[in-house]
């Protein structure tokens, strides 16, 4: 026994493992596709069957596509506000009009930058709109934009219910997207929608090792899971939009991504500028 | 073959897996402990040996402890600025003095809230100071505070070099902490220090499926990895401060957590208030 081991009590715990598997073989998703069925079908080839406590993380893009959340830019007439913002941000005015239709507030508008509060309550660039690789099958490029799902929590709940009905397994579901953040560079996965697991984990009242009040009392669990899934999903193509996760060391419960949104009144960094 | 599979080309990829293992059996870390050796010793019992491309994520707390980054509050004399902020934030003035010593700027001071720019450049509450469960062995509670490591990138690089020398394996190292964020609730893991892997992954120039310019060009990879590790580490005790990660689908390279800090001049949400 080393000196280090002899000097203090070992805090022993079994070797906990978290395993994330990217499901292969998912076809390019089109509007109207049955996503629940496609994902179930992809589990077998990955050697997986759903078990209680598993979590399925899905890239927002394929949920939005399956739900037909597409807008054809040629059909959009920019409002005066959109024209004004388009000039300021140097963006396509029709694109800006769709951003506005998906937003409750514009927070920052600068050249090439349009940061808003999405109608769902979170802060992100361009209301999460996606122009890349979204044209419906057979249509030309550059003419379409993909909005976020209408209600990501509800989309998660529907998938969870389908899988429960078809497999008996009680699984968590997260829809993730990659968002920038205020003080740090790069994007990270965040949870847009959650079902069957905590969005925000509240640890208040759980004493730590020496019975001293925990300093960190709330964990953005849905976001940490979204970030972990994003790590494996990658960005460069749609080859890995669904991640199966097993080993989450927290009990599942009903949840919502709304738990992760800080109320405006409590947000010290929401000043207009 | 289902209609969905017949209608579009399948983007096939092998079942990529990311496996995170919490190393068991680490003793409570004390100042002066040889962390590199302790962690190496904990791999075997978890059935692991280091391989090229692995990443080791370590909770900031045990790095800071091993490096002796402790301050005894009774030894601290609060400055006038600390006394002023202590009244405003309703915090212990000696604690606030240590926060100031670790900060380059105070961003927000409210009752029970003190958000600063840490001397290392990132934004966090209380300069990352920890009062919970930090008393050196044999000392009383409430009298000590733990600062962040002096140079987390350097701490990571030193561990990486030790493990390379002792095992031959080329591994990435991340020191993580749990920080709050501007618009969202709860804390998530973020990378304080990084070695042997990208902090920020730059994808500019990599075309997506249809040769359309990628919209998301930079990924906060170090932070996503820190969040994934945090998911398994938990918060309630020190039982799991080290996570072994295998299967990261990105090439390792020299890196730094400084890559993840947005320069003040580019940060649209750094307004004083």
B252-263 residue pLDDT tens: 899 999 999 998
Share of chain A above pLDDT 70, in %: 86
Average pLDDT over residues A192-219: 72
Residue ranges and CATH numbers for the domains of chain A are 18-68+149-261 (3.30.1330.100), 70-147 (3.90.1660.10)
List the single residue in A27, A34, A270 with the smallest CB-CB distance to B8. Answer: A27
What is the tens place of the pLDDT at every residue in A117-165?
Answer: 999 999 999 999 998 767 777 776 668 999 999 999 999 999 999 999 9
Average pLDDT over residues A226-244: 85
Q: Is residue B131's pLDDT more than 60?
A: yes
Average pLDDT over residues B238-244: 85
Share of chain B above pLDDT 90, in %: 73
Across-strand partners of A177? Answer: A190
pLDDT at residue A208 in the model: 46
B33 touches chain A (CB under 8 A): yes
This complex has an ipTM of 0.90
H-helix segments, A25-127: 35-43, 60-66, 80-89, 93-101
CA distance A225 to A57: 8
Q: How far apart are the first and last CA of chain A?
A: 60
pLDDT at residue A235 in the model: 67
B237 touches chain A (CB under 8 A): yes
Would you tell me which residues 80-99 of chain A have a C-beta closer than 8 angstroms to some C-beta of chain B?
none
Provide the mean pLDDT of chain B. Answer: 87
Closest CA to B179 of B219, B142, B145, B223: B223
Q: Which residues of chain B neighbour A183 with C-beta distances below 8 Å? A: 122-123, 182, 261-262, 267, 269-270
CA–CA min distance A76, chain B (Å): 21
CB atoms within 10 A of CB A191: 33
H-helix segments, chain A: 3-7, 35-43, 60-66, 80-89, 93-101, 152-167, 221-233
CA–CA min distance B68, chain A (Å): 15
pLDDT at residue A90 in the model: 94
- In the structure encoding, which two tokens stand for residue B93, read together? 């003035």
CA–CA min distance B20, chain A (Å): 5
pLDDT at residue B2 in the model: 42
A249 touches chain B (CB under 8 A): yes
A234 touches chain B (CB under 8 A): yes
A204 touches chain B (CB under 8 A): no
Would the pTM count as exceeding 0.80? yes
Task: List, as own/partner pairs, every contact residues A153-157 make where C-beta atoms lie below 8 angstroms and the sequence separation is at least 24, other chains included.
Answer: A153/A193, A153/A194, A153/A195, A153/A256, A153/A257, A153/A258, A154/A193, A155/A63, A155/A67, A155/A193, A156/A193, A156/A194, A156/A195, A156/A196, A157/A195, A157/A196
Q: Which residues of chain A neighbour B204 with C-beta distances below 8 Å? A: none
Highest mean pLDDT range out of A170-184, A258-272, B225-239? Answer: A170-184
CA distances to A71, A98, A265 from A89, in Å:
21, 14, 27
B47 touches chain A (CB under 8 A): yes
CA distance B76 to B101: 11
Average pLDDT over residues A170-178: 97
B49 touches chain A (CB under 8 A): no
CA–CA min distance B78, chain A (Å): 22
Q: How confident is the model at residue A270 (pLDDT cuts 50, 70, 90)?
A: confident
The phi, psi pair for A221, rounded to 5°, reads -60, -45
What is the tens place of the pLDDT at every residue in B111-120?
Answer: 999 999 999 9
pLDDT at residue B269 in the model: 81
Closest CA to B7 of A215, A252, A32: A32
Tell me which chain A residue has its CA closest to the CA of residue B137: A8
CA distance A171 to A155: 14
Interface probe, candidates B140, B181, B198, chain A, greatest A C-beta count within 10 A: B181
Closest CA to A161 of A5, A60, A268, A56: A56
A104 touches chain B (CB under 8 A): no
Q: Is residue A212's pLDDT more than 80?
A: no
Q: How confident is the model at residue B18 (pLDDT cuts 50, 70, 90)?
A: very high
Q: Is residue B9's pLDDT more than 50?
A: no
CA–CA min distance A127, chain B (Å): 13
Q: Is residue A2's pLDDT more than 90?
A: no
Look at B230 and A216 and tell me if their CB atoms are within 8 Å: no
Q: Is residue A263's pLDDT more than 90?
A: no
Would you tell me which residues 107-166 of chain B have a C-beta closer than 8 angstroms to some C-beta of chain A?
108, 110, 113, 115, 122-123, 130-133, 135, 137, 141
Q: How confident is the model at residue B203 (pLDDT cuts 50, 70, 90)?
A: confident
pLDDT at residue A231 in the model: 95
CB atoms within 10 A of CB A8: 14
A31 touches chain B (CB under 8 A): no
pLDDT at residue A5 in the model: 39
Look at B132 and A228 and tell me if their CB atoms are within 8 Å: no
Q: Is residue A265's pLDDT more than 50?
A: yes
Tell me which chain B residue has its CA closest to the CA of residue A264: B183
Q: Is residue A21's pLDDT more than 80?
A: yes
Q: Which DSSP category does A121 fall into?
A: S
Q: Is residue A11's pLDDT more than 50?
A: no
What is the tens place of the pLDDT at every residue in A79-125?
Answer: 999 999 999 999 999 999 999 999 999 999 999 999 999 999 999 99
Phi-psi map region of B192: left, alpha, beta (phi>0 left; psi -120 to 50 alpha): alpha
Q: Is residue B209's pLDDT more than 60?
A: no
pLDDT at residue B115 in the model: 94
Q: Which residues have CB under 8 Å from A197's CB, separation 6+?
A: A55, A172, A173, A174, A221, A222, A225, A248, A250, A252, A253, A255
Q: Which residues of chain B neighbour A131 with C-beta distances below 8 Å? A: 212, 215
Q: Is residue B246's pLDDT more than 80?
A: yes
B7 touches chain A (CB under 8 A): yes
CB atoms within 10 A of CB B14: 10
Strands, E, within B147-187: which ranges? 172-179
Average pLDDT over residues B118-134: 90
Q: How far apart are the first and last CA of chain B?
A: 60
What is the tens place of the pLDDT at every residue in A98-107?
Answer: 999 999 999 9
pLDDT at residue B265 in the model: 80
Q: Is residue B207's pLDDT more than 70?
A: no
B178 touches chain A (CB under 8 A): yes
Q: Is residue B210's pLDDT more than 50?
A: no
Q: Is residue B41's pLDDT more than 50?
A: yes
B75 touches chain A (CB under 8 A): no
Q: Mean pLDDT check: name the lowest of A230-244, B17-31, B94-108, B143-157.
A: A230-244
Q: Are the C-beta atoms of residues B234 and B240 closer than 8 Å to each other?
A: yes
Look at B14 and A24 and tell me if their CB atoms are within 8 Å: yes
Q: Mean pLDDT check: name the lowest of A13-22, A262-271, B110-119, B175-184.
A: A262-271
pLDDT at residue A3 in the model: 41
Tell me which chain B residue has its CA closest to the CA of residue A138: B8
Q: How confident is the model at residue A236 (pLDDT cuts 50, 70, 90)?
A: low
């Amino acid at each position: 026994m080393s000196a280090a081991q002899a000097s203090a009590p070992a805090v022993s715990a079994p070797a906990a493992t978290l395993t994330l598997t990217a499901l292969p073989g998912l076809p390019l998703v089109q509007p109207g596709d049955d996503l629940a069925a496609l994902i179930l079908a992809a589990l077998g080839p990955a050697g997986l069957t759903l078990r209680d406590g598993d979590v399925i993380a899905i890239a927002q893009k394929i949920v939005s596509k399956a739900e037909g959340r597409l807008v054809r830019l040629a059909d959009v007439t920019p409002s005066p506000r959109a024209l004004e913002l388009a000039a300021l941000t140097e963006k396509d005015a029709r694109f800006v009009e769709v951003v506005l239709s998906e937003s409750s507030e514009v927070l920052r508008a600068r050249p090439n930058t349009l940061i808003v509060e999405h109608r769902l309550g979170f802060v992100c660039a361009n209301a999460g709109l996606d122009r890349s690789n979204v044209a419906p099958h057979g249509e030309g490029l550059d003419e379409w934009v993909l909005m976020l799902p209408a209600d990501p929590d509800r989309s998660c709940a529907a998938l969870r219910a389908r899988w429960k009905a078809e497999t008996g397994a009680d699984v968590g579901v997260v829809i993730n997207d990659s968002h920038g953040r205020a003080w740090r560079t790069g994007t990270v996965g965040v949870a847009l929608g959650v079902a069957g697991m905590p969005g925000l984990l509240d640890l208040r009242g759980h004493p730590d090792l020496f019975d001293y009040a925990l300093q960190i009392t709330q964990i953005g669990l849905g976001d940490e899971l979204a970030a972990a899934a994003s790590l494996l999903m990658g960005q460069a193509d749609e080859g890995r939009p669904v991640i199966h996760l097993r080993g989450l060391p927290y009990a599942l419960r009903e949840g919502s991504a709304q738990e992760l949104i800080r109320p405006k009144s409590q947000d010290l960094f929401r000043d207009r500028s």
